[in-house]
Amino acid sequence: MLVPVYGVEKYIERCARSLFEQTYPDLEYVFVNDCTPDHSIEILKKVMEEYPERKDAVRIVNHAKNRGLAAARNTAYDNAGGSFVIMVDSDDWLELNAIELLVKKQMETGADFVFGIMRMYFSDRIDELQAPSVFDKEEYVLKRLGNGWDNILCGRLIRRAVIENNHVRAIEGCNMAEDKYQMALISYYADSLAVCEKYIYNYERRNDNSIVSYQSKDKTLKNGLQFLRNNIGLQVFFADKETVFYEEASKQTMLYANALLKMIVRFNARQRFQFVIETIDTTESKFWPIIGWAKEGLRGKLLHQYWFMWMKLTCERTVRFLKKKTSL
């Protein structure tokens, strides 16, 4: 079991107990301390003392500096042994028979990739994320190139050889959509998948320190750029593979770039706007119509005009607001 640790002192005890109390006996635990600034590791070590039968199976790997979730997951892969791995976020928790159920399904089917049912805990509700129902390889990989909660990497039992033989790793520094990136690659390389129709994994969405919690415009934009880079990573990966996958990856990159550009304009972030424009400039022209660049001669013109139009409107709104305030 592979567990990145950062800023989870409120949750790590619940997570660790759910791992150490698994009904399946033969387990290895790799916790990656990504220089967490709180007491997460101290709490983890204290909990470990209560499970002496598991203690020898636990490794805590320390990063010399904070490198982010993607790098922490890569470190976990690099330090894993055994035939199968399962990623667990340290603010989440497993059902106590999760590994036993997943292993049983894997042994019945011989699958490289085994899914279970996930519960997602929001502040106002609990959602159930069902396991995938698609078994056709091409259709399943195409679904992974899209967006959605079913791209979550955690809670999936994965044959380690699929990861190691194909050197599947997250793109370091790209901590948003890194699940999507890895899931697409693993799905492409895996020969088969199976579904365990049981509750396996509990996903905590009430953690304000989570990578998916947006706390500011700056953080939102940074996360958006990381999301775009992972989409570009998929586009590059599939460039020399089946055309159907490359075209879908390129389509998704353009669609997200379009959405990100609108967000950037709304936040008046000119420097990031320029980066996205330059990124799109390097994309094959046949995908430009998705964002409105129908002809090469019009490359960038429409979106640059869009930017200046919004800047002008923003200035006009500010002037009107100031005039209204001073007249009160």
What is the pLDDT of the chain when averaged over all its residues? 87
The rounded distance, in Å, linking the Cα atoms of 29 and 74 is 15
Give the residue-averaged pLDDT of 133-151: 81
pTM here is 0.86
147-205, pLDDT tens digit by residue?
Answer: 776 789 999 999 999 999 999 999 999 999 899 999 999 999 999 989 999 999 999 98
- Quick one: which of 239, 202, 186, 236 has its CA closest to 73? 186
Give the residue-averaged pLDDT of 15-26: 97
Does the structure show a pLDDT above 50 at 272? Answer: yes
- Quick one: which of 17, 166, 143 has its CA closest to 88? 17
Does the structure show a pLDDT above 50 at 328? Answer: no
Burial string for 240-267 (b: 16+ CB within 10 Å, else e) reads eeeeebbbbbbebbbbbbeebbebbbee
Burial string for 89-114 (b: 16+ CB within 10 Å, else e) reads bbbbbbbebbbebbbebbeeeebbbb
Where residue 167 falls (left for φ over 0; alpha for ψ -120 to 50; beta otherwise) is left
* Residue bearing the bigger pLDDT, 44 or 219: 44
Q: How confident is the model at residue 259 (pLDDT cuts 50, 70, 90)?
A: confident
Rounded (10°) angle between helices 243-266 and 301-327: 20
Residue intervals of the chain classified under CATH 3.90.550.10 are 2-204
The pLDDT score that the predictor gives to residue 315 is 56
Residue 198, CB-side half-sphere exposure with 13 Å CA sphere: 15
* Residue bearing the bigger pLDDT, 260 or 95: 95
Does the structure show a pLDDT above 50 at 94? Answer: yes
The pLDDT score that the predictor gives to residue 308 is 57
Q: How confident is the model at residue 274 (pLDDT cuts 50, 70, 90)?
A: confident
Low-confidence winner among 109-118, 127-136, 249-258 (lowest mean pLDDT):
127-136
Does the structure show a pLDDT above 50 at 298? Answer: no
Q: How far is CA 57 from CA 16, 126, 141, 252, in A?
A: 13, 33, 34, 41
The rounded distance, in Å, linking the Cα atoms of 316 and 303 is 20
108 Cβ partners below 8 Å, 6+ apart? Answer: 194
Does the structure show a pLDDT above 60 at 301? Answer: no
Burial string for 181-206 (b: 16+ CB within 10 Å, else e) reads bbbbbbbbbbeebbbbebbbbbbbbe
Top mean-pLDDT range of 272-276, 284-288, 290-294: 284-288
Outline where DSSP puts E strands in the chain.
2-5, 29-33, 58-62, 84-85, 93-94, 113-121, 126-129, 157-159, 193-204
The pLDDT score that the predictor gives to residue 40 is 98
Does the structure show a pLDDT above 80 at 309? Answer: no
Q: How confident is the model at residue 228 (pLDDT cuts 50, 70, 90)?
A: very high
Where does 2-204 sit in CATH, by number? 3.90.550.10
- Quick one: which of 316, 323, 70 has its CA closest to 181? 70
**What is the rounded end-to-end Cα distance, in angstroms, of the chain?**
63
Give the residue-averaged pLDDT of 233-243: 96
Tell me the residue length of the chain. 328
* Residue bearing the bigger pLDDT, 310 or 145: 145
170-184, pLDDT tens digit by residue?
Answer: 999 999 989 999 999
* Residue bearing the bigger pLDDT, 326 or 271: 271
Q: How far is CA 179 from CA 74, 151, 295, 303, in A?
A: 12, 6, 34, 30
Give the rounded distance of the alpha carbon of 320 from its chain centre.
42
Does the structure show a pLDDT above 90 at 4? Answer: yes
The pLDDT score that the predictor gives to residue 305 is 58
25-45, pLDDT tens digit by residue?
Answer: 999 999 999 999 999 999 999
The rounded distance, in Å, linking the Cα atoms of 138 and 118 is 24
